[in-house]
A = this chain, B = another copy of it.
Amino acid sequence: MKARIDHRTKAIGVFDSGIGGLTVAKEIFRLLPNENVVYFGDTGRYPYGPRSPEIVRKFARQDVNFLLEHGVKFIVVACNTASSLALGYIQRIYNIPMLGVIEPGAKGAIEKSSTKRIGVIGTQGTIGSQAYEKALRALNGTLRIYSRACPLFVALAEEGYIDRPATNLIAEDYLVDLKQKKIDTLILGCTHYPLLKQPIAKIMGNSVQLIDSAEETAKATRQALVALNLLNPSITVGKREFFVSDSPEKFKRISQLFLGKRIGKVGLVDINSY
């Protein structure tokens, strides 16, 4: 029995290309407060969005190796690009339960859409991979799906360009076609995009629901842990550890924007050695 209990108290490993995955981590902290969490942000090699599938797979493998060294029980790929391009690949290699952000987001969108006209926005990598389309179609073959890459959104979110006229203009450029398609649900297929919810909602209007994959992924993580009997039985708040591959101080500073509060020590990792 002891070994099994120990297993449940192990941490959930969360990784992202950088800081965006903190939107997912935040929802996990909220929904699963007693879980220990190890977060790795690959700030030394971000962004993953514009990179090739080969490179993203290699990076994801190194990210997983790092988390495994910390003895995690479950891995959340809190990065849309890595989920799109590398999840299947790392699931075949490793013997640990894993979850990406794509399927939870797709499921959430289908549940909330009544017209079954669904939009997806994300980085070039995510949209080019058609990962959301495939996940959505696997769940429901009769959907109408409209996709659009919004490559400037990540930079705008990270620079705090949220409530600015320039951001509204760029959002309009990107979203005007989707609006004309009369979708009723829009998947924010990039972990940075929840920061731009306001300008996106302003363009899309009240009739379009925005699906935040961070929330959906946290829900799916809880469901998976329950199903696998891996929920941490602890009744105290879990330990949260943060690691990055570059600029820990900068990560600490920007993380406030994502988590709404300060975090403690951030460890520096030489990820290329994994």
Q: Which one of B51, B152, B247 lies within 8 Å of A44 (CB-CB)?
A: B51
- Contact status B164-A156, CB under 8 Å: no
A217, B164: Cα distance in complex, Å: 36
Interface readout for A146-163 with B: 1 if CB under 8 Å, 0 if not? Answer: 000001100110010100
Q: Please judge, given known A-B contacts A164-B169, A166-B173, whether A246 and B52 are in contact too, CB under 8 Å.
A: yes
User: Copies of this chain, how many?
Assistant: 2
A274 to chain B, nearest CB (A): 12
One of B44, B152, B250 near A156 (C-beta < 8 A): B152
Show the binding face of A for B, using Cβ within 8 Å: 43-45, 50-52, 54-55, 151-152, 155-156, 159, 161, 164-167, 169-170, 173, 246-247, 250, 272
Tell me, in angstroms, the Cα distance from A247 to B247 when the chains sit together.
26
Pick the residue among B51, B167, B246 that contacts A247 (CB under 8 A): B51
A-B contact pairs, 24 of them (CB 8 A): A43-B51, A44-B51, A44-B55, A45-B45, A50-B250, A51-B246, A52-B246, A52-B247, A54-B246, A55-B246, A55-B247, A151-B155, A152-B152, A152-B156, A152-B159, A152-B161, A161-B170, A164-B169, A164-B173, A166-B166, A166-B167, A166-B169, A166-B173, A272-B272
Q: A52-B250, A165-B169 are known contacts; what are 20 more A-B pairs with Cβ within 8 Å?
A: A43-B51, A44-B51, A45-B45, A51-B246, A51-B247, A52-B247, A55-B247, A151-B155, A151-B159, A152-B155, A152-B156, A152-B159, A155-B155, A161-B170, A164-B169, A164-B173, A166-B169, A166-B170, A166-B173, A169-B169
Question: What's the least CB distance linking A167 to chain B, in Å?
Answer: 8
Report chain B residues within 8 Å CB of A45. 45
For residue A140, give the distance in angstroms from its CB to the closest CB of chain B: 33
Per the bound structure, the CA–CA distance linking A124 and B118 in Å amounts to 38
- Bound CA–CA A250/B54 (angstroms): 14
Once the chains are docked, how many angstroms separate the CA of A161 from the CA of B250?
Answer: 27
- Taking CB atoms, residues of chain B closer than 8 Å to A165 are 169
* A51 CB contacts on chain B under 8 angstroms: 43-44, 246-247
CA distance A155 to B55 in the complex (A): 21
Q: A150 — nearest CB in chain B belongs to which residue?
A: B159
Contacts of A156 in B (CB 8 A): 152
